[in-house]
Amino acid sequence: MSIPLNRLQARLERDLYVPLFFRAALHAAQVSWQSAVSDAEAVTSALRRMQRLIQADGVVSWFDSWFEAEVVGARVERDAHGRVMGTPLAPQRLPHSARFLEAPPVRHVLDVARRLCDATREQSTVIAAVSGVRTLAAHMVGPRAPDSAYATAQEAASDIIGALARSYGESGVGAIAVIEETAMADPIDARSFAPVAEVARKLDVPMILLSRHPMPPSVESAIRAVGVSHVAAPGGRGSVCAIPATMLRAAPSASEGWFKLQRQAKPAPRLFLSEGEVPLDASTETLIALRERVVT
């Protein structure tokens, strides 16, 4: 079992450094996407190698906001690194959520998570990343679906994401992250995070929301009230510091001013994440230097 993120931070008594490297680690280890989706040991080794190299406090076991939709039938074109190309086609029908966990790709990503948990244990944390319920629902019905179809898809998506989060929890992960790609303007939207928040509460591990869109303070407050521990969103409050992708590509010296601003604006202890997935062309030298800025 991986050490929970909150326990790790309490033990170390400092800010944590958790860049969300996934494809960058596979790329550095020369693991093709074709191998990644079939060879759990290759994925585990690549992620652990990158984690040790940059001395990250955590590792995300899989990072793909189209993973669940592809499992249930969406047609997704990918490049050699597994990045989505073009606009995927929505599934022809909504799935039976009871069968989702039986799918080979799901068993594969859970195997990766278990292997990482066995390898890291008390040294660092393993973060499971799942799609947001709203994101999965949108992927399952497509952009032009009527509101009634989207509402029905949300019910199915809620069951799928809740089941996947529970299975990750049983694998021993130390935190659960939710990738939300839809914009939220109404506090009622926070209810979509309740299934994962309930799983995280029962497991006593933090839940992290990774939102690509800024949100009104009322929405962020409602999300926290549901049980989300950390909210990473542009302009968000709280202790999460999202390192911009441009900084991950820049020279190490370029980050000094940004870190000063973050420490002035954010309460300690802080959680330093990357703003989305670490890009393939991120400099390893910079990733190592950023870690030094976080912990000193």
Over residues 263-289, the mean pLDDT reads: 91
The burial class, CB within 10 Å (0-12 / 13-18 / 19+), for 256 is: exposed
Mean pLDDT in residue range 83-88:
94
Residue 96 reports pLDDT greater than 90: no
Would you place residue 238 in the very low, low, confident or very high pLDDT band (cuts 50, 70, 90)?
confident
Q: pLDDT tier at 92 (50, 70, 90 boundaries)?
A: confident
Strand duo 16-18 + 271-274: pairing: parallel
Sign, CA torsion 207/173/80/136: negative
% the chain with pLDDT above 70 = 100
Is pLDDT above 80 for 98?
no
Nearest residue to 197 (alpha-carbon basis) of 221, 225, 160: 225
Amino acid at 32: S
* Mean per-residue pLDDT, 86-95: 86
Over residues 73-83, mean pLDDT: 96
Cβ-based neighbour number of residue 223 at 10 Å: 27
Domain count, the chain: 1
Query: What pTM, to 2 d.p., does this model score?
Result: 0.95
Tokens of 180: 């939300």
Q: Alpha-carbon Rg of the chain, whole angstroms?
A: 18
Per-residue pLDDT of 15-71, as tens digits, reads: 999 999 999 999 999 999 999 999 999 999 999 999 999 999 999 999 999 999 999
pLDDT higher than threshold 80 for residue 259 = yes
Give the pLDDT confidence score for residue 115 in this predicted structure. 97
- Residue 144 pLDDT: 79
* pLDDT (0 to 100) of residue 265: 85
CATH number for the domain that contains residue 151: 3.20.20.210
Report pLDDT for 187: 96
The mean per-residue pLDDT over the stretch 185-200 comes to 96
- Can you give the pLDDT at residue 145? 81
pLDDT digits (tens, 9 = 90+) for 153-171: 999 999 999 999 999 999 9
Which domain does 286 fall in, by range? Answer: 5-295
Q: Is the pLDDT of residue 283 over 80?
A: yes
Q: What is the pLDDT of residues 139-154, one digit of tens each?
A: 999 877 888 888 899 9
Name the 3-class secondary structure at 210.
Answer: strand
Quick one: DSSP state of residue 28? H
Name the amino acid, one letter, at 174: G
What would the mean pLDDT of 197-210 be, rounded to a whole number? 96
pLDDT of residue 109: 98
